[in-house]
């Protein structure tokens, strides 16, 4: 294994480890309690022959932070909102956006693929932000951040994965019994049960699954050399925590930490989960600023 340290974090342990970050987090909390939350406005990026992308941006210092949501999620989630407030409190730039076919962006979700969402991320890095960014990917966003870091190493300062779902759709499909896969192939779609939407399920076409296989990263070394932080909950019932361990083992970077939350679930949206995410990003900003 080529990663640095693995932390099994209870609340007490990580509060001791990250005590030096208390001041920045207090500033963030004071801003919230003082009622000075300044929500960024939604903007739309036009792209030739492609749907418009909705995004929110806060101007500030480098390195900036870009948040990549999970599958069928959007930029209005708790983690995305909290990160905006934190970056604003530090004076660093921040951008969050909706993938094509999701949230406020144009497009039809059912027609999208992992490749089209990767294209969205690359457009954001190429056109909407300046300089290297800290990419923060939640669930499927963690997979996309790896793909973006491979494609745009010069625009990637560091990675923070939260319940990183690298290769998830492909791995989950291939783990099904042969008979179940044959039935899905005959129907042309796979209905997957979930607790994360009102319908209780989502549907993936076999075309989506076949395309996703082109973007798998866990079968060989991942050519990412920037600092990588991976946070995962041991009680994650959607994406097993060992996926983050596999990512840590595959990336070429020698600056890799895996932080396991003993009671953390998939969304990692509890107050202490968000606090840990914020501390981790603040620590990376300090590290990158010092190196610069």
Q: Write down the catalytic residue from 120, 138, 266, 282.
A: 266
Helices and strands of the chain, counted as H and E runs: 10, 11
Q: Is 266 a catalytic residue?
A: yes
Provide the token pair at 268: 């990692």
With tokens 């009680």, the residue in question is 235
Q: Write down the catalytic residue from 73, 93, 105, 139.
A: 139
Is the distance from CB of 217 to CB of 114 less than 8 angstroms? no
Q: Is 168 a catalytic residue?
A: no
Closest CA to 25 of 82, 95, 92: 82
Strand partners for 66? 95, 135
Kindly give the pairing relationship between strand 61-68 and strand 189-193.
unpaired
Cα separation of 166 and 140, whole Å?
7
Contacts of 254 (CB under 8 A, 6+ apart): 2, 3, 4
Closest CA to 289 of 126, 91, 138: 91
Q: Write down the catalytic residue from 98, 236, 282, 283.
A: 236
Q: Is 236 a catalytic residue?
A: yes
Strand partners for 97? 55
Catalytic residues: 139, 236, 266
């Amino acid at each position: 294994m080529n990663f640095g340290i693995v932390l099994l974090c209870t609340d007490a342990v990580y509060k001791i480890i990250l005590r030096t970050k208390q001041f920045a987090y207090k500033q963030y909390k004071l801003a919230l309690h003082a009622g000075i939350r300044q929500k960024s406005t939604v903007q739309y990026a036009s792209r030739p022959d492609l749907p418009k992308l909705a995004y929110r941006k806060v101007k500030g210092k480098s390195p900036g932070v870009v948040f990549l949501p999970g599958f069928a999620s959007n930029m209005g989630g708790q983690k995305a909102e909290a990160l905006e407030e934190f970056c604003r409190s530090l004076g660093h730039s921040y951008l969050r956006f909706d993938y094509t076919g999701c949230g406020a962006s144009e497009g039809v979700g059912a027609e999208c693929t992992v490749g089209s969402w990767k294209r969205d991320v690359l457009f954001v890095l190429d056109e909407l932000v300046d300089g290297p960014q800290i990419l923060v990917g939640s669930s499927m966003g963690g997979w996309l951040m790896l793909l973006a870091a491979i494609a745009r190493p010069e625009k990637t300062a560091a990675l923070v994965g939260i319940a990183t779902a690298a290769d998830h759709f492909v791995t989950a499909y291939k783990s099904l019994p042969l008979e179940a896969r044959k039935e899905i192939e005959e129907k042309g779609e796979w209905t997957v049960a979930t607790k994360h939407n009102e319908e209780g399920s989502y549907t993936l076409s076999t075309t989506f699954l076949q395309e996703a296989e082109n973007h798998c990263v866990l079968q060989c070394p991942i050519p990412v050399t920037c600092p990588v932080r991976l946070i995962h909950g041991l009680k994650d019932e959607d994406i097993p925590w060992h996926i983050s361990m596999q990512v840590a083992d595959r990336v070429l970077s020698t600056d890799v930490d895996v932080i396991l939350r003993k009671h953390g679930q998939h969304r990692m949206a509890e107050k202490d989960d968000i606090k840990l995410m914020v501390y981790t990003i603040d620590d990376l900003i300090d590290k990158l600023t010092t190196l610069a």
